[in-house]
Amino acid sequence: NAGVTQTPKFRVLKTGQSMTLLCAQDMNHEYMYWYRQDPGMGLRLIHYSVGEGTTAKGEVPDGYNVSRLKKQNFLLGLESAAPSQTSVYFCASWTSGRETYEQYFGPGTRLTVT
Amino acid sequence: GQQVMQIPQYQHVQEGEDFTTYCNSSTTLSNIQWYKQRPGGHPVFLIQLVKSGEVKKQKRLTFQFGEAKKNSSLHITATQTTDVGTYFCAGLTGYQKVTFGTGTKLQVIP
């Protein structure tokens, strides 16, 4: 089991460019999340999905779009990158039907927008 | 909206000293989880608390959930250098939605 993987690990973008971050999990989890982490602000939820074909807004969704066409993949898109989107992005997943709401995190993507 | 605050934001301790981080939610939580993130790494699940007043221990770590289910604490006894990292609490808020606390960064001085 690879767990949760994220692609790419690092990326530098210029303002206005677009990109897609890919999250993949091989644990058959229903729920997948995208967070951003900035110094002193913890992890903030961008968008999440409770199942294939569904998405919902989190705490800081502006400037991002997501898609969950396959259960194992959750894509995060930046249509027109801005310096304020410089951050570390983490994807996480978990499954229902268990007593523990344990989220499994990917290794993160470090994005710099210049 | 839902807010989960943690204090302190940073803590430097001498190796062997104790450490405590506190987590406070603006609303009642159905459960609370704790995660540890090593420098340069990703958050890793430590434990979940569900019941009011619940206390759980993992070796030198003691986790507590408040009676009103709005606050929680993590206490580490006799810190070691391996305890270095940022500790986050996270509360289940809304449908399948988790709100993370702001985190406490622990530095242990050998």
Run of H or E residues at B106? strand B104-109
Q: Which residue from A42, A50, A107 is facing B42, i.e. has the nearest CB?
A: A107
Task: Enumerate helices (H) and strands (E) in chain A, giving the number of each.
Answer: 0, 11
What CA–CA distance (Å, rounded) separates A16 from B97? 30
Q: Which of A41, A90, A101 sits opposite B31 (nearest CB)?
A: A101
Question: Which pLDDT score is estimated for A84?
Answer: 96
Which of the four pLDDT bands, split at 50, 70 and 90, describes residue B53? Answer: very high
Backbone dihedral angles phi then psi of residue B43, each to the nearest 5 degrees: -65, 140
Chain A residues closer than 8 Å to B48 by CB = 99-102
**CB contacts, 8 Å: A3 with chain B:** none
pLDDT value at residue A98? 64
**For residue A66, what pLDDT is reported?**
98
pLDDT in tens, A20-34: 999 999 999 999 999
Dist CA A48 CA A39 (whole Å): 22
Please give, rounded to a whole number of angstroms, the shortest distance from the CA of A17 to a CA of chain B.
Answer: 26
Predicted local confidence at residue A110, as pLDDT: 97
State what percent of residues in chain B have pLDDT above 90: 80
| Predicted pLDDT at B76 | 98
pLDDT score at A97 = 63
Per-window interface: A 37-96 vs B, CB < 8 A: 40-45, 48, 50, 56, 58-59, 90, 92, 96
| Distance of alpha carbon B32 from alpha carbon B71, whole angstroms | 9
Is 80 exceeded by the pLDDT of residue B31?
Answer: yes
* Spatial contact of A55 and A66, defined as CB atoms under 8 Å apart: yes
What whole-number distance in Å separates Cα of residue A114 and Cα of residue B4?
A: 31
* pLDDT at residue B3, rounded to an integer: 82
Q: How many CB atoms lie within 10 A of CB B109?
A: 12
Q: Residue B92 has what pLDDT?
A: 81
Per-residue pLDDT of chain A (114 residues; tens, 9 = 90+): 789 999 999 999 999 999 999 999 999 999 999 999 998 778 999 999 999 999 999 999 999 999 999 999 999 999 999 999 999 999 999 887 666 778 999 999 999 999
Q: Is the pLDDT of residue B48 over 80?
A: yes
Higher-scoring residue by pLDDT: A39, B44: B44
* Mean pLDDT (whole number) for B71-89: 97
